[in-house]
Structure formats: structure tokens, C-alpha cells
Amino acid sequence: MQSTREMENEIIKVSRSATLPNMNDLHGKRIVLGLTGGIACYKAAELCRSLVKVGAKVQVVMTESAAQFITPVTMQALSGQPVFTSQWDAREGNNMAHINLSRDADAILIAPASADFMAKLIHGKADELLSLMCLARPIQTVPLIVAPAMNREMWAHPATQRNVAQLKADGAHVLNVGQGDQACGETGDGRMLEAEEIVDELLSFWTPKVLQGQHVLITAGPTYEAIDPVRGITNLSSGKMGFAIAKAAYHAGAKVSLIAGPVSLSTPRGIQRVDVLSAMQMRDAVHLAVQSATIFISAAAVADWRPDHAANYKIKKDGSGDTPELSFVENPDILAAVARSTRAQSGELFCVGFAAESHDLLAQATAKRVRKDVPLLVGNIGPSTFGQDDNALLLVDAEGAKEMPRDTKTHLAQDLVKEIASRIGKNHSRN
């Protein structure tokens, strides 16, 4: 059994490690990237590059019309694989590229998928390599993922919407479209999602839905306590860990509500976000949102104190050398209040707390878990993680402590979600 000091030294040692594991959820996935005719083919280049960057093996298949917008040479350079454009390609020994390519794939991703190509798919037409391959794929083992791209009127047309509904009924996974300016000069729905958004959708697609049916409420980032209109008290929390947990919970099938302090982070897709500034505002937002939540994760670094009075005007120095007198009052303990609520005590709401410490991590986290009355407390060394893209965590519950070695916050968030899901499963089995 490690002592407190040994545990702390190990966490700090791992936290300072400069080498992170070369891992990714899409690493090793074999993806056939199909391009159909449309100006959104230019986005397919960045998508291909992004997929390769995260470790996927990408095999590009293009229709003849797609080659009018982007060349096979470009896609070959980005994918590192020869591009297929014809069902009569003699490079395959049996001249059956539609069979061989589909059997080797973990998924077929059509991006962009034109209105015409989606119409072909629902009717089982197969007059060129890509549609032939979609028809010939083993339906049970090779999913078809479709990223539509077209003019807003084409997207809104009843025929297109019927085709989308039929594709979904046939088992295809049809992504949403983006909204904004279009190449034709119009504005509206129909744009293909950006590369980063499609990669995120693929991550979600392959994530086990261990939180299906759960409503997760997460707080993230710092709070800001005003001294006067231009000054205040805050901390170095970036909110990255909380936002990563929000995304991981959404990928795991949960409905996710995110209450964020002042951070410069974009809202993850599919997540409802409320922005607050102070601890009191965060408390009020949590009080409203937690009523419908089944899991509460308090990842925010909430200020312990606030000035008892914020000046209406900027406090100025007058050259006398005198300093202003500031007095403070303690902020409410949001986590403890939620954890002691009737819903939490009855097991209807599962609470997870965070502890950002500077020393004695095991001892501090263990004491905080008991003091806050939460089933799971996640500890970390604040100075070594604030603002960083990586972290090392210590999970503390009634049975002891478990280390989560330094990794990206994305991967740690995914692992933490699995830990939470397993504990909820145990709680349900006992009830």
C-alpha cells in the first residue's frame, strides 16, 4: 500500500512526463472515404488529412463527377493510398474492387454525399464503383456513414428528405448538415460538416453508449469574483478538462448540460451550454439544471471566496501609497449542497467532485471526498495541469484510490466516463 507521500510523488512524476501515449480512438480504423460530385469535395481533402492524422487508414474512392472538383492525385497524396475511380480498375487481381475494398473496411464514409448519390443508394442502383461498393458491403459488419452536401433548396426538397429518412430506415448513419454561406451565394442548411465535426461524429459513432438514458450536468472552468468593474479574483483553470468530459459523456450517449465559467472554448456539438461568471451565478445555474440531471460532475474550479462588496467604479491609486482594504466572504459550496440533496442521498443523482491541489494529493482528495459527501472524487495537481491539454488523475472512492496516468484530457475524460458508468451500474444493481 503506497503512503500518501509516495502516491503524491508518483502523480507528480507522471504529470511531468513529456511523453504521451500515441493513442486515438480512430487509430487503426480502416475507412473507405467516398467522394461524390459537389463543391464540398474541397472539404474532403482536409477530412482525409484529419483522419490520417488521428491514425486511421483511409482508402479513397471517387465518382467521375467528384473528379471534376478535386483530382485523384490530391487525394492520393493526402491518403497515402492509390485512389480508385472505376469498377474496371485492373489493379485488383480478380477485378472486383467493389468486393475487396468493402470487405477490408471498418466503415464506408460518403463525404460529400450529393442528393443524386443518396437517391441512388435508396434504390440500390450500382452503375459505378462507389455505389456498387455500398450495395455490395456486408451490412452487418461494415456501416455506411453519409455526410450530405448540397444547396439549401435541394436539401429542403421533400424528395431529399424522403431519401434521408429511407437511408436511415435502411440502416445508414446519416449525419446532420451544417448551416451558413454556400458556394452558390445563398445561405442556409445543406453545407457538409467541417472535417473536425465529421471526425468527432465518427468518434461518437464508435463510442459504446454506456451513458445512454442519462442526463449529465457538468460545471467547468474558473469563476470570476469582481472587485470593481475592471478587476477581479479568478484562477488558472482553462475549462479543458470539464469540456472534454462533456464531450465524452455526449459520445457515450448521455444528454449533456454544461455550465461554464469564463473560458475561451467552443461548445462541443450536441451539448447545451450556459455561461456564467461568478460562483453565485454558477450556484444558481446548477440549482436550476440539476433538478432533471441523473449525474452531476463538478469539474469547475470555483473560487472559495469573493469580495464582500464590489466597487461601482474602478478603484484608483492616488499616489499616497495607501492600499485599498478588501474583505472577503466565503462562497457557497455548490458540490456539497448538491451531494447532500434528497435526490443525491437517495441515489437518484450520482455526484462526482474534483479537487485541484498543490500538494498531498491523496490525503487532500480523500478528506475532501468525505467532507463533500460524494461517492467519487477526482484529484489532480492543479499547477501541472491548468491550461494544459494533458493531465493525470487520482480517483478516490470509499474503497480506496486509483491512478489514471498522464494522458490527453480527451482520453482521460473517456476513461472517467467509463468509470462513472460502471459505478452507476453497481448502484442500480443494488437498488
The torsion defined by the Cα of 366, 369, 370 and 375, in degrees rounded to 10, comes to -120
Phi/psi of residue 376, each to 5°?
-140, 130
Measuring CA to CA, how many Å separate 43 from each of 36, 69, 111, 177, 197? 12, 11, 9, 13, 11
Q: Give the pLDDT band of residue 130 (cuts 50, 70, 90).
A: very high
Per-residue pLDDT band at 4 (split at 50, 70, 90): very low
Residues with catalytic function = 184
Q: Is pLDDT at 73 greater than 50 in this prediction? A: yes
> What domains can you pick out in the chain, each with its CATH number?
30-205 (3.40.50.1950), 208-304+330-430 (3.40.50.10300)
What per-residue confidence (pLDDT) applies to 10? 44
Rounded Cα gap, residues 350 and 417, in angstroms = 12
- Write down the number of H helices and E strands in the chain: 15, 19
At 403 the pLDDT is 92
Q: Is the pLDDT at 347 greater than 90, yes or no?
A: yes
DSSP string over 286-330:
HHHHGGG-SEEEE-SB--SEEESS--SS-----SS-------EEE
Share of the chain above pLDDT 70, in %: 93
- All three cell numbers of 420, joined, read 462513472
pLDDT over 50 at 19, yes or no: no
What is the average per-residue pLDDT within 63-75?
Answer: 96
For the ranges 15-29, 205-219, 350-364, the maximum mean pLDDT occurs at: 205-219
Residues contacting 104, CB < 8 A, separation 6+: 30, 59
The percent of residues above 90 in pLDDT, for the chain, comes to: 76
From residue 224, alpha-carbon distances to 248, 267, 282 in Å are: 26, 20, 10
Categorize the per-residue pLDDT at 81 as very low, low, confident or very high, splitting at 50, 70 and 90: very high
| Nearest CA among 348, 382, 340, 350 for reference residue 365 | 382
Reading the block at residue 147, the C-alpha cell is 455526410
Q: Give the amino acid at 203.
A: L
- The residue among 283, 281, 290, 257 whose CA lies nearest residue 271 is 257
Is pLDDT at 25 greater than 90 in this prediction? no
CB atoms within 10 A of CB 243: 26
Q: Does residue 117 surpass a pLDDT of 90?
A: yes
Q: 366-403, pLDDT tens digit by residue?
A: 999 999 999 999 998 777 778 888 889 999 999 999 99
Query: Which is more confident, 171 or 2?
Result: 171
pLDDT at 7 > cutoff 70: no
The whole-angstrom separation of Cα 125 and Cα 7 is: 62
Confidence grade of residue 427 (pLDDT, cut at 50, 70, 90): low
Segment 187-245, tens digit of pLDDT: 889 999 999 999 999 999 999 999 999 999 999 999 999 999 999 999 999 999 999 99
Give me 84's grid cell: 480508385
Q: What is the pLDDT of residue 426?
A: 64
In 102-214, the DSSP E strands lie at: 107-113, 144-148, 173-174, 178-181, 187-191
Q: What is the pLDDT averaged over residues 59-79?
A: 96
Average pLDDT over residues 344-359: 92
Is the model's pLDDT at 8 over the cut of 50?
no
Q: Assess whether pLDDT exceeds 90 at residue 149.
A: yes
Mean pLDDT of the chain: 90
Q: What is the pLDDT of residue 327?
A: 93
Task: With a cut of 70, say whether residue 1 has pLDDT above it.
Answer: no
Report pLDDT digits (tens) over 257-312: 999 999 999 999 899 999 999 999 999 999 999 999 999 999 999 999 999 999 99
pTM of the shown model: 0.84
Q: Mean pLDDT: which of 7-11, 14-18, 347-351 is highest?
A: 347-351
Is pLDDT of 324 > 90? no
Which of 50-54, 99-103, 176-180, 350-354 shows the lowest mean pLDDT across its residues? 99-103
d(CA 353, CA 341): 15
Amino acid letter, 121: L
pLDDT at residue 12, rounded to an integer: 39
8 Å CB contact between 107 and 26: no
